[in-house]
Amino acid sequence: MIEMNMFDPNEMAQAAQLKQIEEMKKQLLGKILSKEAYERLGRVRLANPELASQAELYILQVYQTGKLEDSITDEQMREVLRALSEGKRDFRIKRT
């Protein structure tokens, strides 16, 4: 029996488009964020990908509205991350 790997052209095009969008987003964030802030975002992405995605989206939206005058510092990145994660606390059960 011969097994043929057939790829759907639509899926391949979507994958290529997503890869291109991610690359553009990465380049833009590299310009917007200071080196330290970019590194912090990378560390957050490893620990909490959802929070990192929210932060990226927020930063890109602020950039698109023209409200950014300078690059975002590490302290500003911490404030953004703190604000985005504020309502999402883990509950811990203490055993007594």
User: What is the residue extent of each domain of the chain?
Assistant: 31-84
pLDDT digits (tens, 9 = 90+) for 10-57: 888 888 888 888 899 899 999 999 999 999 999 999 999 999 999 999
Cα atoms in the Cβ-side hemisphere of radius 13 Å centred on 6: 4
Does the pTM exceed 0.85?
no
Q: What is the pLDDT of residue 90?
A: 57
User: DSSP string of 23-73?
Assistant: HHHHHHHHHHB-HHHHHHHHHHHHH-HHHHHHHHHHHHHHHHTT---SPBP
CATH code of the region 31-84:
1.10.8.140
Q: Is it the case that residue 2 has pLDDT exceeding 70?
A: no
